[in-house]
Structure formats: structure tokens, C-alpha cells
Structure 1
């Protein structure tokens, strides 16, 4: 069947009318005849679609659905035609004739097979932006050939669509993706070596490519807002990495401590677009990388790539050391960070006042966040001695070590060791070392620079050190012209997460203590020195939770330890629980309000999947 357009004319008025008919051809003897199956009225569709509509109507009349039913416009027309018009004459052989004209075949669907299926959707988007950023033109300027630029486009888009290794990218391009059809060169026969080689060629031109991309991005997405987020991550190798100087063992963020790593430093703007990148050895210290980034920003500023407003650098707490903050300000830049040490612990008084004294705002998930700007008079007040408030703070935080009282002795009754012998006591030259733990550095693994508050650590003579600060200090020095703003924040979701972590640590600590206590009760450990050593090891392995408890060793007349008793420190527990979900954001952007500061940090860190809750 087919659709025929027919024109008629009104003899009186001369007006022409157009209508359409569904017509079928049939053979009668040696002649081919045509008959009108139905009138369709006037169709307002592209003549190219007449054939599709005719097939839909033919199948409908035969009691079936056509493959073209997916075209909603044609389906709608067919529905209207079949409901509004009647068949003009009885079909000569009715259903059998129509079925014969449709040429139906019986097919065993289980025998159908599909081959060489390729994905294309995400690849089209990646290819479109690749072309809009004019990456090919930049690669040609860097000396790559036409074929190399084609391979580069395929590899870059493949890495964007399905991030993986060079070897897996080669397999993806050969077997899964239609990217080879989106380039202007025949790449169907390239081997995996070409994938490895193009990555090296692109990396050699990295600096000029990054510069060109910044210019192209500014043309496509102009903005006067300049916020830069800087962070580091690492990737691990599963091979032997022989001869690779960058492959080093370090702290794997994916917990693959058995593999060598490389570190990647990345600076992006507020839109998530990259500004600078650099590959470092896997054991690279995070704080030491900031100098290279600031040098790159300075170079971009000199070339006029950014607006007149100087950028604000947003950093993770792992990079935000005193020296780095001073370095940022020496470049005349602003900064915004979550303080590196747990500065919130210095504001227990503010946290204990309750959420009613905070400003409530909502995050992107409509969850409540409570914020308060910290003034100069807030924080832990010090009088030259180790006070109760600081004890609670230091014991609750995992970063600072202080004695519980300034006049306590560190013999067998050592608070540091957490071992108090209730009964006849045994003195010995090794008492401080075997029981104390902290005297030997057993509990001094927190080597990160302390930021944002008073500190008191043990001297070799175990006397408390004098503190020169009477409040939690910001990163910047008091001599700087810009006033430093600190925002105390409370997140309910973060609180729930930290509570869950603490419960897990509590369970592990309790299990380890019960095991040690059972060994003492059975007489496996009874010597005071040995028991003290075991307690020191227990406190070292579970330090953040162990600070909340006293461990008493009960001895008998024979001066042997008979029993261990675990006693909770209520004040320390209360202080720790008060700190759940709390953190401090610091900035030298004096023009921003507290809510703006929080949103600025959270909005930009979320773009890099590093949500601060």
C-alpha cells in the first residue's frame, strides 16, 4: 500500500483542494489495478514520511503493529485516521490479501544474534566538546600529525567516557566504542603501542595544552568569578614499575599500600574546569606541592588569562599548613580552608551553648548546617597551666597530648600510661618507660603541625610546656593587614558519621581490653612491667578511644597484677561527643559573610567530589 495525493477543483469558485488516500495495488489477470482503501483527509507531514505512515496503516489493518510505531507523530496520525474514517470498500481478500502484501515471515527469535554492537551516546557528547575546545588545532601546533591527533581524540574521549588504563582503553576502542567512527582517520587497525605513545606525546606538550584550554574555556564560558580549588590524589600501579622514578610507595587513598603510587596535583576553577596539573612521586608530601601551583597561577596572571580580581585559593586541610598560608598571602592571594588540626576542639564553650546560638542554613541536600562566626574573645582561656578545659580538649582530640594535671607524678601511677596500681606498688627504673608509653613516643604518632589553638606537650622532664597563646589562633599572623575570619560549623550528617566511626573504634578497643584483662586474670600476664607494656601497646593501637578511659591494675600481696579494671572518664567522653560534626573554616576574605564563606567552600569542594558535609 501507498499514500496518494489527489487535487480537486471547485468549478464555481476555482478553489483547489488537496486530500490524501491510502491506496493498494493488486493484479487482476494480466493487469495491475488500484483501489482506494481509505481517505485520509489532508496530511500535514513531510512527503518523505508517506511510506512510513502507509506501512503503519497497513499493519494496523492486518491486526499488527509496525516498527515505525516509535514515531509519535505518525502514530498519532494513524490513531486519528483509523478512528475518524471508515474503510471505503471491502477489501477483496480482506486480511489474507493484506497479510500477503505485507510479506510476513515466521522467524525463530531465539536464533537471532547481534554482532559488532558499539556504544555512541556519551562519545558524541565528548567529541562535541573536544571540537569546541579546539584541542585538535592545539595538538597540531604542538607538532602532532593528523593521524596522531585522531588517535589523541579517540584516547582522550575514551578516557573521559570510560576512565581506565592504556591497555583497557585500547580494548574499549576496539570492541565497545564507536569513537573510531567520529575521527577523520582510519584507526581500525592501530595497536596498543599507539595508545601508549600518544599519551607520552600529549604529556610532553602538557603546559602549552593547558594554557590553550584555559583560553578556550574562557571564550566558551566567560566569568569574572575566580575561585580555585587545589587538591591531590594518587593512583596505584599493579605492575613492577621498574625504572619508573615516579612510582614510589606512599599513603594510598585507595588503601593499596602493597602497590607503588604516583601523585596527581590538580587545580580547578569554580566551574570545575582544570587550570593546572602536575604529576609527583607517590611519596610526595602534600603541603610541599603548593609552591608549584602558586607559581603557575602567577604565570597565568601575568599573561592576562584571568580577570582583574585576584583568585581565592580553596584547599583541603592536608595542604593548609602555616607556611603554605603565608606563601599564599605572599603572592597577594586570598585563601579559604578547613583548618588542618581539629580547631573545633578549642571552642567547646561555644559548642556547648547549643545550636540555638548558631545560624541554621541548608545544604544542597536540604540538610541543616549550623554556623557561627568566631570572635577574638572565643576559645580556650589559658593561665599558664594545664587547665581542665584544655585537658578535655586534648584528651578528646586525637592530635594533642597533655597531662591531666600539672602536679601529677609519672611513676607507677602514670596518667599517661593509664595504669593505676591499687595496692602494694613496685618501683623500678623502667617504670616510666614500660608504663608511660608517651615517654617513649608510643602515643606520639600525630606529627601533623598543630594549628588553631593552645598546645601543651610533655618535655623530657615531663613538665608541662608554657603556652604563648591565650586562644585558638588563626593561620595568619597578627601582623597581617587582613582580618582573619573563622567560622565554626556543625553538620548533623557529619556528626552521625563520626559517631558511627567512634562506635566501631569503641567496640574494637573494648574487645582488645577484654582480651588483655582475661589474660591477666588467667595469670598469663602478672608482672607489673609486662602488664604496663601491654597497656601501653593497647593505648597506642586505640589511642583516640583509650584517652577516654582509666585502666586500674589490681595487685595482690605478692605484688602481682591480678585484675584490670576499665573506668570511663565522663568529662573526656562528653567533650569528644560535643565535637562530633564540628569543624572550622578559615579565610582572609574579610568581605564575606559567614553563610557566604560556608557556601563558597562547600559548593566548590562538592564539584571535586570532596564534600565537607
Structure 2
């Protein structure tokens, strides 16, 4: 099979799927199997797609995982061939319509039905990851019974499929094929067992963290030479009076200053696998957590090499950097934006900057090395960051000016709440100006705002020199490191790894259901966080395994592709009175096969249950 382009009578370019066959006379003739109209399949994939479709039609199985694009186009074309009734023709079989009320081989076709459909595809990669990481064996070795281990699996798997509370887990389990997957009956599980499973997982969290780290290092040949550290926080629904670590703070990532918070510190290795995590009170300053994290790293890793810790600027105080050095850690950290003005003259000498290599398909980043006090300072200029910073300042300035105009309108209308005619009128206006300035600091620093008490008039002017001077540094930032052996490109690439922590936090709080907390006891909240971190271990196993297999696919894409692969019970009534009930998984499409093949999942090993029900003779009970 192959694809052929043909121009129609009206000049439209058409794409056809064609098969060549040799007749009895020895001549090769082309048979158009399917017309795809103006469908545009990239040239680079056409040969592979055609070969794959031919293999599907002939019943051959591919041994190697195919590219996602090839699998996707193959599925679309096979579906079109099925809808047009051409697939069976290609297979040299005969098709005909069956009349209403038809019977085929004794089966009453109009009464065939299916029921109890549950998702299985989304669970298969999770079970594969769980088994590869040896979690069931580890928990069993700690005396955890099989029933409790299955409940723990359900808690962790739920975070990766459809996060909910333990109270809702029994309801969720009715939508997925966990019974078939684990050969258990989850319908008899009450909600209490899931709370107990979380307690057990937390009890063994220290040993389990070490087990996972050692297992992942062995599976993927990971090292502990670079650690990425950052913090986030999440809020509670309710007062959470029984958790002493639940504290209110103005530093809420979701701006939920009305709720108690917990802070979570997370350390990842260079490949994005969790190394350690720590739960802090919600009002803990980010910069005060480094000592606890360093102690945890030393206790958990035991690595004799001198690792490098990559930090966000908000954590990297001079005291924290000194702590890292004293404990045999190097650091890479971004300098604070407020201090980049110190390097303004260096940023202006653009000819001294060099381009970071390996970014051919992206906008360039320019770097320049200078020396600081006992450390290397890498100056960086990024066009992408400049565009982003320009947009932020522009939007902030727009909102700031709008707020000033609203205040000016209130003054003009003599708003009674300002008490302009009283002795405290000016103080009230100044207070409003201060509140607006504090809300939009990126713009207010360029403006001088004046209030004329006699004329009751508000005015403002922008300092153009200061504004242009600041704008000239947009897209400029600087990195600091104690590693003097690294090249400029290596320093920048190591720092960019910190975005993996940001991605991890986004997934933890969004896809994996970390927020909000519905528990109010300290240990249950810690267990909730630990279950989420365990789920992230499975997620990274899936993504990294796919990467090693040459499949560029995120976990969100995997979940989306596999959610249509389900278990169903098929009911086949026969005219002799028998009813056959066959419970089996559906046939995966090509994209699903691609994922299963890359992860080493054997779908044919899934259990199939067949039951026949005989009709009772007349008069018998």
C-alpha cells in the first residue's frame, strides 16, 4: 500500500490510499482502496502509515512501538475504512446487511447488549509502574496485608486518574476495572480501609522513599549529582484546628489568604524524580527551610560526591548559600530581579555575549561570564523573557493607571467615604494612593502622584528616564554558582532544570489533586501529601519509560488516549434459550497499542470471564 496524490478536474489536490496487485496477465494494476479528499498527511510519515495499515489489514502485529503521529493517522484511516465498509473488502471477505430480527449462528442479534463498562486502559500503565517499582513486595515485606495493599493502590491510582477524597473512593471504583486488574472485589471495600491504607503508607514513608530512590536509580541509571529544590503551599477547606502546622500566611500561591496553609518542600533529581519532600507550617518563610532540606538530603542520599543544588532566588539568601557550602553542597541560583541593576553596564556591552548552543528551534539566549565574590556570575539575555516582561509591565501599568483614574473620579465626585472637606481628607487620599502603589509596584515606581488639597485634584507623571532605563533591562537576568568548573552553557542548562520543579508542583496541585486539603488531622494531611508524591513517582516512571522507548508523550496525553479502552460484559442471547455473558477488555486501537508496547504491557494477559445461563424448563423454579 502507498499514498498517491491526484489532481481533480477542478484543480483540487486529492490524496488516495492505493494498493498495487499483479493480475493473471502479469501486469500490475493500481486499486484505490480509499479516497481521503484534501486530507494532508505529512510526507515524512506516509510510507510508515501505509505499511502499518497494510499490517493491520493482514493481521500482523508490530513488535516495536510506532510514532504517535503514525498511530494517530492509522486509527483515523482504519476508522474511515470501517465506516465506508471497505475494510472487509480489502481483507477479501464478503459483507452483507442483516435484516431486522436477524439470527446469526443461533445468536439473536437484535438482543445483543453490553453492560458494566469500566475503564481499564488508564489503569494499565499505573499497574506496570507500581510493579516495576516493587511497591507491593515492599509493603508486603513490612507486614501489610494484601487487602490493605490493594486499597493503597486504589488511593494512589485515583490521584492519577480522577482525584477525589477517601470518602468518594468507593464510588470512583465503580467506574474503573480494578476488580479485574487486581483480582479483588472492591465493591465490598468501605471508605475506612482507604483511610487506614493512607496511615500505613505514611508510617513506612521514610523506608519507602529510600526504596523508591534506589529502585529508580537501578532502573534508569540515575545519579545524585544535581538536586532541584523549591517550595509551594496549598490551602484547607475549613479551620483545620487539629493540625498545628496549618497556618495562615500572606504568601499563598493561590492568593487564599483567607484559609490555613501547609507548605511543601520538594527535592527532585536531574531527571525529575522525587528524592525527598518535607511538610512545613503554612507561615514558614521559604528561606528558612533550607537547613531541614539539607539535613534530609544528607540522611536520605548518603552520596559521597559533592552534589549541586539548584534554587530559586527567593530561597537563596547569603546565609542559605553559606549553609550549603558548609555542608559540602554546591549551588546554582538565579539572582534577584532587584539586584540586576548592579550589572546594568555589563548588560549594555552586548558584543561580549555568546549564544547558548543547542537551541536552534527556539529564540536565542545570550550569556556572558563575570566573576563575583568567590562565585561565578552568568549574565543572561533572553528574547522570550523580554517579551514576557514587557507584557507584564505593560499590563500592570494599565491597571495602575486605571486605578488612579478611578480614584480621581471619586475625588471629583466628592465621594463621602474620602471625607475630603474634613481635616483628614488628605490623609485618606494618601492612604488610597499608597494602597494602589503597593498593589502595582512594577508600575508605581515610575510615577510621581500628587494631590492638590486646595483644588481637590489628583495628578500623576511618569519618570521617562527611569522607565526607559528599567525597560532596557527587560529580558536580562543573572545566575550565580559556586561551580567554577562549569562552562557558560552548562550553568544555564542546569538552572533551566528548575522548571521541572515548577512543572511538578503544577501537576501535584492540579492533575494529582494535592489541593485543597479536606482532612483536619496532622497525620492525615501528611498522608494526603505523601500519597500525592507517590502518584508523582508513578507519573515520572511512565513519562521517563516512554522517553527511553522513543515516544514523546506526556502523562496527560497517555491518560487521554487510554481512557476509551474499557472492560465490558457482552450479553449474547441465543434462540435455544441460552444466554452467554462474556466479560472482556475491548480491542485497543493503534495509538493505545503504541503506549502499551512502549511500556511493556501485555493486554492479552487480561482476564476474560465467560458464563452461560441455561433457561429453566417450564414449570421449574
Which TM-score band (shorter chain)?
Answer: 0.5 to 0.7
**Structure with the larger helix share:** 2
CA distance in structure 2 between the aligned counterparts of 1:79 and 1:322, rounded to whole angstroms: 72
Aligned CA distance change for structure 1 residues 298 and 527 (closer, same or farther; 3 Å)? same
Count of residue correspondences: 420
**Superposed CA offset, 1:392-433 (max 9, x none):** xxxxxxxxxxxxxxxxxxxxxxxxxxxxxxxxxxxxxxxxxx
1:272 corresponds in structure 2 to 272
Q: What's the secondary structure of 2:152's corresponding residue?
A: helix
Q: Which is higher, the Rg of structure 1 or of structure 2?
A: 1
How far the C-alpha of 1:157 sits from its partner, in A, is 2.1
Residues 493-502 or 112-121, more deviating:
112-121
Are 1:348 and 2:344 counterparts? yes
CA distance in structure 1 between the aligned counterparts of 2:184 and 2:88, rounded to whole angstroms: 43
Are 1:339 and 2:335 counterparts? yes
Question: Aligned match of 1:591 in 482, 485, 488?
Answer: 485
CA distance in structure 2 between the aligned counterparts of 1:191 and 1:95, rounded to whole angstroms: 47
Q: Is the 8 A contact 2:266 2:276 kept in 1?
A: yes
How far the C-alpha of 1:512 sits from its partner, in A, is 2.8
> Which of structures 1 and 2 has the larger relative contact order (alpha carbons within 8 angstroms, sep 6+)?
2
Q: What's the secondary structure of 1:215's corresponding residue?
A: helix
CA distance in structure 2 between the aligned counterparts of 1:315 and 1:260, rounded to whole angstroms: 26
CA distance in structure 1 between the aligned counterparts of 2:274 and 2:158, rounded to whole angstroms: 18
2:444 corresponds in structure 1 to 546
1:455 corresponds in structure 2 to none
Q: What's the secondary structure of 1:542's corresponding residue?
A: helix
Q: Is the 8 A contact 2:308 2:331 kept in 1?
A: yes
How far the C-alpha of 1:534 sits from its partner, in A, is 2.0
How far the C-alpha of 1:297 sits from its partner, in A, is 1.8
2:354 corresponds in structure 1 to 359
1:18 corresponds in structure 2 to none
2:544 corresponds in structure 1 to none
Q: Is the 8 A contact 1:489 1:584 kept in 2?
A: yes
CA distance in structure 2 between the aligned counterparts of 1:100 and 1:553, rounded to whole angstroms: 90
CA distance in structure 2 between the aligned counterparts of 1:318 and 1:485, rounded to whole angstroms: 19
Q: Is the 8 A contact 2:230 2:501 kept in 1?
A: no
How far the C-alpha of 1:263 sits from its partner, in A, is 1.8
Aligned CA distance change for structure 1 residues 209 and 587 (closer, same or farther; 3 Å)? same
Question: Aligned match of 1:328 in 321, 324, 346?
Answer: 324
Residues 486-495 or 228-237, more deviating:
486-495
The TM-score normalised by the length of structure 1 is 0.61
How far the C-alpha of 1:573 sits from its partner, in A, is 0.6
Aligned CA distance change for structure 1 residues 521 and 151 (closer, same or farther; 3 Å)? closer
Aligned CA distance change for structure 1 residues 136 and 100 (closer, same or farther; 3 Å)? closer
Q: What's the secondary structure of 1:486's corresponding residue?
A: strand
Q: What's the secondary structure of 2:263's corresponding residue?
A: strand
Q: Is the 8 A contact 1:266 1:277 kept in 2?
A: yes
Are 1:577 and 2:480 counterparts? no
CA distance in structure 2 between the aligned counterparts of 1:156 and 1:522, rounded to whole angstroms: 59
2:186 corresponds in structure 1 to 187
Q: Is the 8 A contact 1:363 1:369 kept in 2?
A: no
Alignment of 1:309-320 (within 5 A): 309-320=305-316
Alignment of 1:53-452 (within 5 A): 79=90, 81=92, 107=110, 115-172=115-172, 174-224=173-223, 226-250=225-249, 251-302=251-302, 306=303, 308-340=304-336, 342-354=338-350, 356-361=351-356, 366-376=361-371
Alignment of 1:413-492 (within 5 A): 478=373, 483-492=374-383
1:402 corresponds in structure 2 to none
**Superposed CA offset, 1:472-507 (max 9, x none):** xx6xxx4xxxx4111222333332332222223222
Q: What's the secondary structure of 2:118's corresponding residue?
A: coil
Q: What's the secondary structure of 1:117's corresponding residue?
A: strand
How far the C-alpha of 1:203 sits from its partner, in A, is 0.7
Aligned CA distance change for structure 1 residues 300 and 241 (closer, same or farther; 3 Å)? closer
How far the C-alpha of 1:596 sits from its partner, in A, is 1.4
Aligned CA distance change for structure 1 residues 131 and 521 (closer, same or farther; 3 Å)? closer
CA distance in structure 2 between the aligned counterparts of 1:95 and 1:359, rounded to whole angstroms: 72
| Superposed CA RMSD | 3.9
2:66 corresponds in structure 1 to none
How far the C-alpha of 1:144 sits from its partner, in A, is 1.4
How far the C-alpha of 1:113 sits from its partner, in A, is 7.4
1:467 corresponds in structure 2 to none
Aligned CA distance change for structure 1 residues 95 and 197 (closer, same or farther; 3 Å)? closer
Gaps of 5+ in 1: 1-43, 48-65, 88-93, 377-473
CA distance in structure 2 between the aligned counterparts of 1:575 and 1:244, rounded to whole angstroms: 49
Q: Is the 8 A contact 1:154 1:180 kept in 2?
A: no
Q: What's the secondary structure of 2:196's corresponding residue?
A: helix
CA distance in structure 2 between the aligned counterparts of 1:512 and 1:100, rounded to whole angstroms: 76
CA distance in structure 2 between the aligned counterparts of 1:328 and 1:258, rounded to whole angstroms: 35
How far the C-alpha of 1:171 sits from its partner, in A, is 2.9
Question: Aligned match of 1:513 in 386, 394, 404?
Answer: 404
CA distance in structure 2 between the aligned counterparts of 1:529 and 1:101, rounded to whole angstroms: 93
CA distance in structure 2 between the aligned counterparts of 1:255 and 1:274, rounded to whole angstroms: 26
Aligned CA distance change for structure 1 residues 505 and 597 (closer, same or farther; 3 Å)? same
Residues 117-126 or 602-611, more deviating:
602-611
Q: Is the 8 A contact 1:342 1:583 kept in 2?
A: no
**Superposed CA offset, 1:216-245 (max 9, x none):** 111111134621111112222213423122
CA distance in structure 1 between the aligned counterparts of 2:359 and 2:279, rounded to whole angstroms: 33
